[in-house]
Amino acid sequence: MKKEMNPSLPEDPLDTLAEEKEPGTNHPPKGQVVPYDPLQRYLLEINRYPLLDLEEEKSVLLKYQQTQDSDLAYKLITSNLRLVVKIAMEFQRYWMQNLLDLIQEGNIGLMQAVKKFDPFRGIKFSYYASFWIKAYILKFIMDNWKLVKVGTTQAQRKLFYNLKKEKSRLMAQGIDPAPKLLAEKFSVSEKEIIEMDQRLGEWELSLDAPVADGSSVDHKSILPGKEASPEKTISEMQLKNIFRTKLQDFQKGLTPRENIIFEKRILTEEPLTLQDLGNQFGVSRERIRQLEEKLLKKVKAYLEKELPDLNPDYLEDMF
């Protein structure tokens, strides 16, 4: 019997796909081995789990924080498995990785999010979970690319995360993203730019590709449409909340002078001049510059330790 659909919701494409593959249809020729597609099977499997609306999710999150009930954790995880698939597929558009491997790592990140989420922080769970999902997928990608000597140095990691973004930015301004220009931007050789560009450009999975041969359902159609892309999912509000808490903890270990320099030179959008701070403390502007540089190294090391799965590019952009 076909299940009754909620008339207020669009028909789930996974239901259509499941119906296309019902037992007794599309039999292969006699003697031919039936192909097994683990990805298709997984996508069909996760469609069995219901999505939670905002109120229901909030209720489950509150109960889980109070009880640590594993059944509640399971409910939260399974209701967000499609979010993991969406993020994993966005990543596979640019990096050559097995999609199921990315999904598996993203699921681990999702489990971490359930454990660590604070429902009283005023952050939507899907935004917070996306942070952990993306962090685990990125770490997996970097660990695997190290095996083929991609992303093993700081310069290569910077290219890995930023080359495509910088090329897009230049093209949007009508500037040709030539290797020489990019090499100057990232302080690397033209050869490194060309090699990384070739690696990043060779393997892409189109979201328009069908889930299975002969199916009219594509990968994109099974994803939760309301969710933003991975880059947008990690909202500025969420990042600011995370960093604000960590920076407050970091500042507790600073001296009064260090705290003033940290706030007046690093945290503010309108920093005081080195000379102004030098006059305030009775030291040279060069001494203030040295203290500022020391603080920058100190805070980056602290955040890398506290947030080990964080994309290092966020720290570069922040400071």
In sequence order, the β-bridge partners of residue 218 are 210
Segment 276-285, tens digit of pLDDT: 999 999 999 9
- Residue 307 pLDDT exceeds 50: yes
With contact defined as beta carbons under 8 Å apart, do 163 and 193 qualify? yes
CA distances for 291 relative to 247, 269, 284, 295, angstroms: 17, 19, 11, 6
- Residue 203 pLDDT exceeds 70: no
Q: Which of 38-42, 59-63, 273-277, 284-288 has the lowest mean pLDDT?
A: 38-42
Query: So what's the pLDDT on residue 227?
Result: 42
pLDDT confidence band for 310 (50 / 70 / 90)? low
Nearest by Cα to 50 from 17, 87, 12: 12
Query: So what's the pLDDT on residue 1?
Result: 38
Question: What percent of the chain clears pLDDT 70, i.e. is strictly above it?
Answer: 64
What whole-number distance in Å separates Cα of residue 31 and Cα of residue 72?
46
Segment holding 312, helix H or strand E: helix 312-318
Q: How remote is the C-alpha of 98 from its chain's centroid?
A: 17
pLDDT confidence band for 235 (50 / 70 / 90)? very low
pLDDT confidence band for 92 (50 / 70 / 90)? confident
With contact defined as beta carbons under 8 Å apart, do 80 and 71 qualify? no
What whole-number distance in Å separates Cα of residue 75 and Cα of residue 80?
9
Number of neighbouring beta carbons within 10 Å of residue 275: 11
CATH node for 9-20+35-147+204-229: 1.20.120.1810
What is the average pLDDT score of the chain? 74
With contact defined as beta carbons under 8 Å apart, do 113 and 251 qualify? no
9-20+35-147+204-229 and 238-318 share one CATH topology? no
Written as one string, the DSSP assignment of 39-55 is HHHHHHHHTTSPPPPHH
With contact defined as beta carbons under 8 Å apart, do 294 and 261 qualify? no
Residues in the chain: 319
The residue-averaged pLDDT of 192-218 equals 55
The residue-averaged pLDDT of 201-210 equals 43
Domain boundaries, the chain: 9-20+35-147+204-229, 150-203, 238-318
- Residue 173 pLDDT exceeds 90: no
**DSSP H helices in 52-153:** 54-67, 70-79, 81-92, 99-116, 125-146
Q: How many CA atoms within 13 Å lie on the side-chain side of 5?
A: 11
Query: So what's the pLDDT on residue 177?
Result: 85
CA angle in degrees (0–180, nearest 5) for 267-272-274:
110
Segment 104-138, tens digit of pLDDT: 999 999 999 999 888 887 778 988 898 889 888 88
With contact defined as beta carbons under 8 Å apart, do 116 and 238 qualify? no
Which phi-psi region, left, alpha or beta, contains residue 151 (left: φ > 0; alpha: ψ -120 to 50)?
Answer: left
Q: Which of 15-24, 85-94, 166-175, 183-192 has the lowest mean pLDDT?
A: 15-24
Query: So what's the pLDDT on residue 15?
Result: 41
Q: Which of 81-85, 132-136, 230-234 has the lowest mean pLDDT?
A: 230-234
Question: Which of 158-162, 204-208, 295-299 ranks highest by mean pLDDT?
Answer: 295-299
The residue-averaged pLDDT of 179-198 equals 83
Nearest by Cα to 110 from 145, 75, 142: 75
Q: How remote is the C-alpha of 160 from its chain's centroid?
A: 14
Query: So what's the pLDDT on residue 316?
Result: 64
- Residue 14 pLDDT exceeds 80: no
The DSSP output letter for 262 is I
> The tokens of 209 are what?
């590709």
Architecture of domain 238-318: Orthogonal Bundle (1.10)
> For residues 156 and 88, which has the higher predicted lDDT (pLDDT)?
88
What whole-number distance in Å separates Cα of residue 63 and Cα of residue 69?
8
Segment holding 192, helix H or strand E: helix 190-202
Query: So what's the pLDDT on residue 5?
Result: 35
